[in-house]
Amino acid sequence: MHARIVRSLNFEEETFVANEKMLAQMAEKDGFIAALDQSGGSTPGALRQYGIPDDAYSGDAEMFKLMHEMRVRIMTAPSFTGKKVIGAILFERTMDGEAEGKPVPTFLWEDRGIVPFLKVDKGLETEADGVQVMKPIPGLDDLLARAVKLGVFGTKMRSVIHQADEKGIAAVAKQQFEVGAQIIKHGLVPILEPEVSIKSPDKKGAEKILRDELLKGLDALPESSKVMIKLTIPDEADFYRPLIEHPRVVRVVALSGGYTRSDACKKLEQNHGMIASFSRALINELKKSMSDSEFDKTLEQSIDEIYDASVKKA
């Protein structure tokens, strides 16, 4: 199946082989996806959590430099390998950076066996009809072309659903699939991420509407198109099973969504076929002041817990 899918993308031979292997890994390998894609708005909080206060840097350039150093420390840690971490989602500046003298996507795939993804959204519009759709993404085609050249396999883009509003959720799904189609044209696999807020007063109702809208969108895709979907862990175990089993879906992954790692892992264990794509729940306990051995031991414990919840189901 995978060879047929990738041949349809018309890659050069070297890229064809890499993407065939990446696709097989995403579809079949045990493990989870690390989300290392904090952007401008969430970066200061991530740095504070890591132990770098706001007054330790001045301006965006210094802030992103510190964030890149933290991410490189994670990516080069001995425990951060494709044995359990099968993919990693990168912020654009991280994709453009280097790790151990190599472009980050190349380092991840060639040195660590981890499939690289790129976050492409530019943030959220203000809430309307109970949801926040994505802001426009200017220059997306150029960004996608650059990502392909750097060896990126897929992308990720996030919307947020706050209320069980049919009109709003339909708009979120429509936008996700429209941008997803643009991404697919570049030979990349998009991760659609319509997040349902864990604070939603009718989270279960929102999930029902969302599942129906996603199934309609998947059914309308050309047979050769493949997507991944990143979702909040549902209130009802195995609720997204129809999405997981859909022939156009490579993998369904779960965001932690504000749950603690312990709570997110317990919930994820109840959902068969769904693997983690955690950000804060992966890195929250890491500190700049740690020695390299302490840092890796803490990261390894986090990786092991998330891996087990992704693979060893109740």
Number of structural domains in the chain: 1
Q: Which residues contact 61 (CB under 8 A, 6 or more apart)?
A: none
Q: Residue 288 corresponds to which amino acid?
A: K
Active-site residues, by number, are: 193, 230
DSSP 132-178: EPBPP-TTHHHHHHHHHHTT--EEEEEEEE-S--HHHHHHHHHHHHH
pLDDT tens column, 181-234: 999 999 999 999 999 999 999 999 999 999 999 999 999 999 999 999 999 999
Q: Give residue 41's pLDDT band: very low, low, confident or very high (50, 70, 90).
A: confident
- Cβ atoms within 10 Å of 28's Cβ, excluding its own: 11
Can you tell me the mean pLDDT for 125-133? 98
Residue 15 has pLDDT above 70, yes or no: no
Q: Angle CA(171)–CA(91)–CA(255) in degrees, nearest 5?
A: 55
**Spatial distance between the Cα atoms of 192 and 228, rounded to a whole number of angstroms:** 6
CATH code of residue 169: 3.20.20.70
Average pLDDT value over all residues in the chain:
93
Can you tell me the mean pLDDT for 97-109? 97
**Spatial distance between the Cα atoms of 159 and 243, rounded to a whole number of angstroms:** 18
Residue 247 CA neighbour count, 13 Å, CB half: 8
Domain extent at residue 264: 2-311
Residue 53 is predicted with a pLDDT of 95
